[in-house]
């Protein structure tokens, strides 16, 4: 099995806290929520970033995590790792061009394995809908505590809804101040129609210097809010909270 080296920027205090909160909320969803799809309404809302840090955060607590880059059309996740040029990816495996052991990678975190997307195939949706992907997830369920699947935005292509059919739940990543409530609602309904429960929403790229979020943040974290309250922040809303909104 190839070993790939994770490249990361150190998280600031508030991001680190946000990922701990996201990790904890996910764990409270129950141990039957193993296979989790991450999608969004539009590109660039931060899915790959969120899923990457969440996978590391879960794995650092000793959970066995498999991170699958299922964005077969425009993968950026490979950029998060130092990888050998010959490494094969999910598209090779799903099209029968490589066995699982050639695409499954170890990382510098013992309990984190990764499958990168590989080159873009001509038929991404068909590959994800196929029995091979279903079987891969079935086998992974036996080995891992969490299988996190990074998908393309559902507002652009159907792939996330296809992957969600084989999953136990979905998390929608929403870029703050950019996406309308109605658009998120549509994506939520589309996922639910396929039978996939929504576990929650990650509100990403929140400018905590903006008054609205700054005061929420400050009230929640007391003195630390003021000291570390800069930059973009990631906040998780569990299902019960999103229903209230």
Ligand X SMILES: Nc1ncnc2c1ncn2[C@@H]1O[C@H](COP(=O)(O)OP(=O)(O)OP(=O)(O)O)[C@@H](O)[C@H]1O
Interacting positions 65-84 with ligand X (CB under 6 A): 71, 74, 76
Is the distance from CB of 235 to CB of 171 less than 8 angstroms? no
Which residue matches tokens 């507002």? 155
Spell out, one character per residue from 5 to 24, where the chain touches ligand X: x when CB under 6 A holds, - when not.
--------------------
Report which secondary-structure segment, H or E, holds 219. Answer: helix 211-221
**Which has the closest alpha carbon to 52: 72, 86, 75, 85?**
75
- Give min distance, CB of 112 to Mg ion, in A: 18
Q: Does 234 bind Mg ion (CB under 5 A)?
A: no
- Give min distance, CB of 99 to ligand X, in A: 27
Rounded Cα gap, residues 22 and 145, in angstroms:
16
DSSP characters over 74-124: S--GGGGEE--TT---HHHHHTTSS-HHHHEEEESSTTEEEE---SPPS-H
Q: Which of 39, 48, 57, 111 binds Mg ion (CB under 5 A)?
A: 48
* Count of chain residues binding ligand X (CB under 6 A): 16
Task: Give residue 82's region: left, alpha or beta (phi > 0; psi -120 to 50).
Answer: beta
**Binding segment (CB under 5 A) for Mg ion, from list 6-14, 47-55, 139-147, 183-191:** 47-55
Q: Does 39 bind Mg ion (CB under 5 A)?
A: no
Alpha carbon of residue 4 to chain centroid: 19
Cβ-Cβ contacts under 8 Å for 61 (sequence gap 6 or more): 23
Identity of the residue, 4 or 77, whose beta carbon is nearer to Mg ion in the bound complex? 77
Identity of the residue, 40 or 214, whose beta carbon is nearer to Mg ion in the bound complex? 40
DSSP 166: T
Identity of the residue, 155 or 169, whose beta carbon is nearer to ligand X in the bound complex? 155
Helix (H, G, I), strand (E, B) or coil at 211: helix
Q: Which does 74 bind (CB under 5 to 8 A by kind): Mg ion, ligand X, none?
A: ligand X
Spell out, one character per residue from 187 to 206, where the chain touches ligand X: x when CB under 6 A holds, - when not.
-----------------xx-
Interacting positions 137-196 with ligand X (CB under 6 A): 153
Helix (H, G, I), strand (E, B) or coil at 38: strand
Identity of the residue, 25 or 48, whose beta carbon is nearer to ligand X in the bound complex? 48
Residues that bind ligand X (CB under 6 A): 40, 43-49, 71, 74, 76, 153, 204-205, 232, 234
Residues that bind Mg ion (CB under 5 A): 47-48
């Amino acid at each position: 099995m190839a070993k790939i080296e994770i490249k990361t920027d150190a998280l600031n205090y508030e991001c680190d806290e946000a990922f701990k909160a996201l990790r904890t909320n996910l764990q409270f969803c129950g141990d039957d929520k193993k296979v989790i799809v991450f999608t969004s309404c539009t590109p660039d809302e931060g899915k790959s970033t969120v899923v990457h840090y969440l996978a590391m955060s879960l794995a650092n607590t000793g959970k066995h995590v498999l991170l699958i880059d299922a964005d077969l059309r425009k993968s950026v996740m490979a950029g998060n790792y130092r990888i050998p040029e010959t490494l094969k990816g999910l598209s090779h495996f799903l099209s029968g061009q490589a066995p699982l052991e050639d695409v499954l990678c170890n990382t510098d975190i013992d309990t984190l394995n990764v499958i990168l997307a590989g080159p873009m195939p001509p038929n991404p949706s068909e590959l994800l809908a196929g029995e091979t992907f279903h079987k891969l997830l079935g086998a992974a369920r036996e080995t891992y505590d969490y299988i996190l699947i990074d998908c393309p935005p559902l507002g652009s292509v159907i792939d996330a809804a296809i992957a969600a059919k084989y999953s136990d739940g979905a998390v929608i990543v929403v870029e703050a101040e950019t996406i309308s409530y109605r658009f998120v609602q549509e994506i939520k309904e589309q996922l639910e129609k396929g039978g996939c429960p929504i576990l929650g929403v990650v509100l990403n790229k929140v400018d905590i210097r903006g008054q609205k979020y700054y005061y929420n943040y400050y009230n929640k974290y007391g003195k630390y809010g003021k000291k570390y309250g800069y930059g973009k922040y990631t906040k998780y809303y569990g299902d019960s909270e999103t229903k209230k909104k």
